[in-house]
Amino acid sequence: MKTPACLVGDIGGTRARFALLDERGAPGPATVLPVADHGGPVEAIEAYLDRIGQPRLGAAALAVAAPVGDGPVRLTNGAWTFSRAGIQDRLGIDRLLLLNDFTALALSLPHLAGGDLRQVGGGAPLAGAAKAVLGPGTGLGVSGLLADRGRWSALSGEGGHATLAPADAREAEILALAWRELGGASPHVSAERLVSGGGLPLLHSLVAEVDGCVFLALTGEEIVARALVGDPLCRSVIETFCAMLGTLAGNLALTLGARGGVYIGGGIVPRLGELFDRSAFRARFEAKGRFAGYLAAIPAYVILSPAPALIGAASALVEAEKQQPL
């Protein structure tokens, strides 16, 4: 019978990634499963274990795209609802850590190598200073990493749902249309509503209306793909997307005092390559009046590692095992 293994997972609104830890406590090769193909995390984990022939688990750490507390957890942009106790009981595991996916992403930052990052402007990170991380995937995740008595502590928040503010007259017009589209007596347009994979189709329609363009309804993936081959409207949408992300990143850097760098994760920005590097992201990041110089010194990095949240989840699980061994 195989020795019980330690599992790490990164569960988003669209895809779930799973890996087992090796003898060094690092994630092995990851398997990616569509969230929509499975009824919940237990079913997805069981499918993964069947695929690799590993029948037993001793412990697991799951990074999930949702607020995590003591009660039921529901994916913000997915249909899964589950609980820590329910997963443990059904899988028969001794210990289960649940953490927000961007908390896990923040915990990965000290473990990323130079080749896992691409710098976009700024200077060198200040040693020991806070680090900020945000990124558009299906939704928009936000976290930070703070030095705490010689160790790094990650924040668990929902900054992607903070109110989106316009930075110029064109964006004000886009936001006014978004308020109309989202409706309600007290309309709230969060950053995630436009600056995410799930928000790209809405942003696409709003940019087309503001710019007076005829458009076809497209998915977020199609908008990115067309922008990369030069479609004028999709290029304009992605340019607006990157500019808005720059405003959000600059706000987060100021809020956290993130002179250790701002890190961009998620599935969209790494795909953009030089299109992101040439975009208005960096100019908008620094456009903070009297604090433009403060922000100009802060480096921004695109995270290129294919599964960084698994690295962060592994770090959290290994640390938990040190504190309370099985």
CATH code at 5-100+307-323: 3.30.420.40
pLDDT at 82 > cutoff 70: yes
Amino acid found at 32:
V
Q: What residues contact residue 285 under an 8 Å CB cut-off, 6+ apart? A: 121, 246, 247, 249, 250, 253, 262, 295, 300
For the chain, the residue count is 326
* Reported confidence tier of residue 183, pLDDT bands at 50, 70, 90: confident
pLDDT score for 315 = 96
Say what the pTM is.
Answer: 0.95
Provide mean pLDDT across the span 136-142.
97
pLDDT score for 145 = 98
Fold of the domain spanning 113-303: Hexokinase; domain 1 (3.40.367)
Q: Where in the chain is the domain with CATH 3.40.367.20?
A: 113-303
pLDDT score for 103 = 97
pLDDT score for 317 = 95
pLDDT at 159 > cutoff 80: yes
- Under DSSP, the state recorded for 286 is H
* Reported confidence tier of residue 144, pLDDT bands at 50, 70, 90: very high
pLDDT at 27 > cutoff 80: yes
* Reported confidence tier of residue 326, pLDDT bands at 50, 70, 90: very low
To the nearest whole number, what is the mean pLDDT of the chain? 95
pLDDT at 185 > cutoff 80: no
Q: What residues contact residue 199 under an 8 Å CB cut-off, 6+ apart? A: 136, 140, 192, 193, 220
Provide mean pLDDT across the span 22-44.
96
* Reported confidence tier of residue 312, pLDDT bands at 50, 70, 90: very high
Give me the phi and psi of 162, to 5 degrees please.
Answer: -70, 155
pLDDT at 65 > cutoff 70: yes
Q: Where in the chain is the domain with CATH 3.30.420.40?
A: 5-100+307-323
Could you give the dihedral angle defined by the CA atoms of residues 99, 45, 310 and 16, in that order, rounded to the nearest 10 degrees? Answer: -90
- Residue 170's closest CA among 196, 202, 138, 208? 208
